[in-house]
Every structure is written in C-alpha cells, then in structure tokens.
Amino acid sequence: MSTTTLHPSVTSVSWLQRPAAHLTVRLQGPALPHPTRHQSPQAIAKPMNWIFHRAPAPRTGRMAAVQLCHAVARAVFEVLSGYRSIRQLNFAMEPGCVEKIKRQMLIETRNFTTTAQPGTTHGCVRTIRMEQTQSGAYECAAVLAFKHRVRAVALRIEPWHGRWQVTELEVL
C-alpha cells in the first residue's frame, strides 16, 4: 500500500487502496437459518407479517370496510346538502347515527334551494384514514372536497351479522 506524507506525524492512504472492511455490516440478533433448512409456513409468517406490515384482518374484510367508509362519507354530505334521501342510509347505519344526521340536516339545509348548483352536488373523497381497533372495528376519517369547501367525517364501522355497519358518526 502506498502512503503519502502530509505532515511528519500524519499519513494518508488513498480511498481506492483501503480495504473494504469498513463497509461490512454485521446483523444483530440470532444467526440467520441455513438456506437449505426448510421452515414451516407458521414459522415464516410472523417475521414476514412484521417485515411487510400485513394487516391481521383478511383483506376482503378490510376492503369491504373501506368501500363502506367511502360510500357513507360521500352519502352523508349529499344528505346534508339536500340531494339524497336519509332513508338510503338506513341499511348501512344504526338508527342513532341516522337521527344525528337528521338533526344536522335540519340545521344545515335551512337556506338551501331544491335546484342544484353546478359543481356542488357531489363531493370528491380526498383521503380516507382507517385504524383497526382491538375489538375488530374500524375507526375511519374521510376528507371530502367540494367546489368551494372541504369537509371531514369520522366513522366507526363494526361488523354486524356478516356485514359492516356504521355505529358512530361525527360530521366535522
């Protein structure tokens, strides 16, 4: 190895001539299993779920909850705008939530007309955030954008007789 003297007490080694030992990374924890040893699917599933952040609930159940959140969030604001009947939400919501929307609708639709304004009828769902609780329910927040306004709704969706149902609702 060639060295260059910069100062009588300091020597420099070219980076091309340095050994690559400083680039080696040692993994912490137990040694990795031998590649020829086969592990059971149950032994592999837990680390793979941790690596890929897989949801514990089946994907089909989560997707059904996402679709319900999307549809109900949009329908709630259509009801509050006066463009949709509240009866259309009876199947997807508990009666307490429907009553809450009725009270909110009486407050918000006083000054509305029956003719639709261009660009204000339907909102566009911008974001949906969902978290699964320990009980298996989902707590959702959806943000909708309208022509001149942005609004949000918070929902709690719980499994009920083989389907999802909105049990709590807050319009923000």
Each residue's pLDDT tens digit, 126-169: 999 999 999 999 999 999 988 788 899 999 999 888 889 999 99
Identify whether the C-beta of residue 96 lies closer than 8 Å to the C-beta of residue 166.
no
Q: Provide the token pair at 83.
A: 């463009």
Dihedral (C-alpha) 123, 102, 142, 75: value to the nearest 10 degrees?
A: -40
Total-model pTM = 0.59
Mode of pairing for the β-strands spanning 124-132 and 138-145? antiparallel
Q: How far is residue 145's CA from residue 128's CA, in Å, rounded to a whole number?
A: 12
CATH architecture of the domain with residue range 56-113+121-171: Roll (3.10)
For the chain, the domains span: 56-113+121-171
- Assigned token pair, 131: 């978290």
How do residues 44-85 score in pLDDT, each as one tens digit? Answer: 666 666 565 555 554 568 888 999 999 999 999 888 877 888
Quick one: pLDDT band at residue 27, thresholds 50, 70, 90?
very low
Look at residues 39, 27, 112, 41 and name the one whose alpha carbon lies nearest to residue 78. Answer: 112
Neighbours of 108 (CB within 10 A): 15
Residue 87 identity (one-letter amino acid): R
Listed in order, strand segments (DSSP E) in the chain are 3-7, 10-13, 124-132, 138-145, 150-160, 163-171
Residue 60: what residue type?
A: T
Q: State the Rg of the chain over Cα.
A: 29
